[in-house]
């Protein structure tokens, strides 16, 4: 969270999960805090969460739509 807080106002992203995914996978780290221009975060950084959904969800009790998230017959748009 400190990395995210330090980058507030310096990132451009369509979704906060793109930023979270980048931090978790170390594609975004504290080393970029000294940039002097806005950093555009690609939407692929949230792919980590898409992968988790397909492998069984995020582990929430009574998670909704698991049959769609884990069945290869269904395609998640935007993934």
pLDDT at residue 78 in the model = 63
Whether residue 50 is contained in a domain is answered as yes
Does a structural domain hold residue 53? yes
76 domain-assigned: no
Tell me how far apart the alpha carbons of residues 34 and 49 are, in angstroms, rounded to a whole number: 28
**Who has greater pLDDT, 9 or 18?**
18
Domain membership of residue 37 as a residue range? 2-70
pLDDT in tens, 11-58: 888 888 998 898 899 888 777 767 788 889 899 999 888 887 777 777
- Give how far Cα 43 sits from Cα of 1, 13, 22, Å: 20, 7, 10
Structural domain tally of the chain? 1
* In-domain check, residue 49: yes
């Amino acid at each position: 969270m400190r990395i995210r807080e330090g980058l507030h106002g310096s990132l451009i992203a369509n979704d906060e999960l793109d930023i979270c995914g980048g931090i978790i996978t170390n594609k975004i780290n504290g080393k970029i805090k000294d940039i002097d221009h806005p950093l555009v975060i690609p939407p692929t950084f949230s792919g980590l969460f898409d992968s988790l959904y397909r492998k069984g969800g995020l582990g929430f009790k009574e998670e909704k739509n698991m049959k769609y998230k884990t069945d290869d017959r269904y395609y998640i748009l935007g993934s």
